[in-house]
Amino acid sequence: MMNPMRTAITDLLGIEHPVIQGGMQWVATAPLAAAVSEAGGLGIISALTQPTPDALREEIARARELTDRPFGVNLTFLPAITPPPYEQYVAAIIDSGVRIVETAGAKPTEAVAAFKAAGVTVIHKCTSVRHARSAEAIGVDAVTIDGFECAGHPGEDDVGGLVLVPAAARALGVPVIACGGIADGRGLAAALALGAEGIAMGTRFLVTAESRVHDDVKHAIVAGSETDTRLVLRELRNTSRVADNSVAREAAEVLAGGAEFSEVAHLVAGARGRSVWETGDTEAGIWTAGQSMGLIDDIPACGELVPRIVAEAEGVLTRLTR
Amino acid sequence: MMNPMRTAITDLLGIEHPVIQGGMQWVATAPLAAAVSEAGGLGIISALTQPTPDALREEIARARELTDRPFGVNLTFLPAITPPPYEQYVAAIIDSGVRIVETAGAKPTEAVAAFKAAGVTVIHKCTSVRHARSAEAIGVDAVTIDGFECAGHPGEDDVGGLVLVPAAARALGVPVIACGGIADGRGLAAALALGAEGIAMGTRFLVTAESRVHDDVKHAIVAGSETDTRLVLRELRNTSRVADNSVAREAAEVLAGGAEFSEVAHLVAGARGRSVWETGDTEAGIWTAGQSMGLIDDIPACGELVPRIVAEAEGVLTRLTR
């Protein structure tokens, strides 16, 4: 058997395995990204986790010290009263010689044009076929499609990956990366069967030895099941999938009662999980987690995890054709 | 290559392909069930679509005239002020010599005992790992697990099939059948990769030549996308996935405003789709449809559809191991 894990995505990105680490806010720093890339996948650094464009330059340099393999940078465009200096982050990424960028959030027309002009490969992450088509039209090289199961922002359509991934694969000319609800080799094999050319995983890489989140959070995810997440902020059309803890339930209840966002801002301030992830107190704030929680049973090193997932996928596919 | 589509489910049920037709209320009558069984899958007759146990005996006899192959009967246990005479339906199924039953709804302890005592193979359909374990404990032979994407009753946990199917496969000793969001060979291949031993499909079989629903409904599903369904009745903990039409939106709005069920009963009376399915007026009432709507593009005969799905799944799996 030839390597079945060679896909349009491994070719496009110049990586060994079609396994990508999600550019998680606060979590996706150089050590994790480099560990994933060293394991043959694609590690991704979260740009906005770095407080300034110069800090991002340093983080990219740090990753370079840790791996010679390709890695990417995530740049997420969110609505904000005082937005980050996006143009300067774009410049920092291009100047640093990064060859792969993952964009997310609002339609990144100008940033994509800048990246493409600099020869950077762009993957756009989105949550609907409509947005994926729109991203393809502005010239991205691939699309990561985030299904309903995913941590963080699943969008407002609530379409499960079993349907959304093949629907996207049918509709697009560029390769599709499946994200949401995938944490093992069975998920990788299923994603490829559905027409994806690779997978991206957030929660699974959050629970690895190289992830900087507190061990107590990792253990909470290992102990949790697929029913231990919930959606919040639907009322604001900014739906987020988070761990189902007391703070998330309180925010959900207050918002369901018709409260303005300002009334729950103190609860949601920890929505990026930073305080929880630093302290390990899983009831101290809202923190993101995906339904793949139900499939995560251990805290491996990335160098063990990535080959294990690929070997499991190969084993599953081989058994099904024997 | 040997037949990769031989699985624990094809062996258990004595069928050629691991493809099962959901026992849809009003839709799953003898002609459809027989057509699916003739195609090598497992057709299922909906017991409660027949007004009396004697009518069910006649419907079973009618299926026997149409096929010599195995078929099953679905018996769904729903809360009701005046429940149907379940014991008499159980007796009609057993007396008619049916060898395969699909139970659904409330934990069917007594019915399962009666079926097992008569040597009938029982598949229980449910929407969570917890209920699946409970069904396994009372002796069912297989479990159909309905993910969030499914038409009708997805339960209250909202876990997508990409996670729920492998979580169930890990937790159970009996074979798992994946249902919800599956409508083609990619879905079959993905389900097998996730650890299922077969698939069940409702919406896909609703849109076939042999299905008795009005052609206008079939065409509406062909025209629809994966975003054209919605959930209703969450407030009553009786969540249903239905086509997103004006009646469903009205019911959702009234219930979100705190209305009692009695205030929307006139809207929900058509919840089983009967009037819509008979008349083809897709705005005349609430009718069930799954997210697989986005993957359904034609109205084939079952004798074309089932082999096509299997061939597509085999092709996908073969390409992935080459």
- Report domain extents, chain A: 8-212+297-320, 229-288
Radius of gyration of chain B (CA): 18
Overall average pLDDT of the A252-272 stretch: 75
In a 3-state reduction of DSSP, which class is residue A72?
A: strand
Nearest to B291 among A159, A187, A320 (CB): A159
Between B163-167, B196-200, B269-273, the lowest mean confidence (pLDDT) is in B269-273
The verdict on a CB contact (< 8 Å) between B186 and A180 is: no
| A1 band by pLDDT with thresholds 50, 70 and 90 | very low
The helix (H) or strand (E) run that includes residue B219 is helix B215-223
| A273 band by pLDDT with thresholds 50, 70 and 90 | low
The verdict on a CB contact (< 8 Å) between B226 and A322 is: no
**Of all residues in chain A, what percent carry a pLDDT higher than 70?**
97
pLDDT of residue B263: 79
Q: How far apart are CA A191 and CA A178, in angstroms?
A: 6
Q: What is the DSSP string of B70-115?
A: -EEEEEEE---SS---HHHHHHHHHHTT--EEEEEES--HHHHHHH
Q: List all residues 6 or more positions away from A6 whose beta carbon is below 8 Å from its beta carbon.
A: none
Which residue is listed with tokens 């941590």?
A151
Q: How far is A1 from chain B (nearest CA, A)?
A: 6
The verdict on a CB contact (< 8 Å) between B166 and A227 is: no
Q: How far apart are CA A7 and CA A314, in angstroms?
A: 13
B3-48 pLDDT tens trace: 558 999 999 999 999 999 999 999 999 999 999 999 999 999 999 9
Q: How far apart are CA B307 and CA A255, in angstroms?
A: 49
With beta carbons under 8 A apart, name residues in chain B contacting A320. 4, 189, 192-193, 317
pLDDT of residue B80: 82
Size of interface A-B (CB pairs under 8 A): 152
| A3 band by pLDDT with thresholds 50, 70 and 90 | low
Q: How far apart are CA B244 and CA A71, in angstroms?
A: 42
B128-139 pLDDT tens trace: 999 999 999 999
The verdict on a CB contact (< 8 Å) between A186 and B195 is: yes
The verdict on a CB contact (< 8 Å) between A189 and B320 is: yes
Topology given in CATH for the domain delimited by B8-213+297-320:
TIM Barrel (3.20.20)
B219-253 pLDDT tens trace: 999 999 999 999 998 888 889 999 999 999 998 88
The verdict on a CB contact (< 8 Å) between A181 and B190 is: no
Overall average pLDDT of the B55-76 stretch: 98
The verdict on a CB contact (< 8 Å) between B321 and A190 is: no
The verdict on a CB contact (< 8 Å) between B295 and A163 is: yes
Q: How far is B61 from chain A (nearest CA, A)?
A: 37
The verdict on a CB contact (< 8 Å) between A193 and B195 is: no
Residue A23, amino acid: G
Q: How far apart are CA A71 and CA A17, in angstroms?
A: 13
The residue of chain B with its CA nearest to that of A292 is B163
With beta carbons under 8 A apart, name residues in chain B contacting A158. 148, 231
The residue of chain B with its CA nearest to that of A318 is B321
**Of all residues in chain B, what percent carry a pLDDT higher than 90?**
85
With beta carbons under 8 A apart, name residues in chain B contacting A187. 162, 166, 194
The verdict on a CB contact (< 8 Å) between B193 and A162 is: no
**CATH architecture of structural domain A8-212+297-320:** Alpha-Beta Barrel (3.20)
A58-90 pLDDT tens trace: 999 999 999 999 999 999 998 788 899 999 999
With beta carbons under 8 A apart, name residues in chain B contacting A195. 186
With beta carbons under 8 A apart, name residues in chain A contacting B129. 225-226, 294
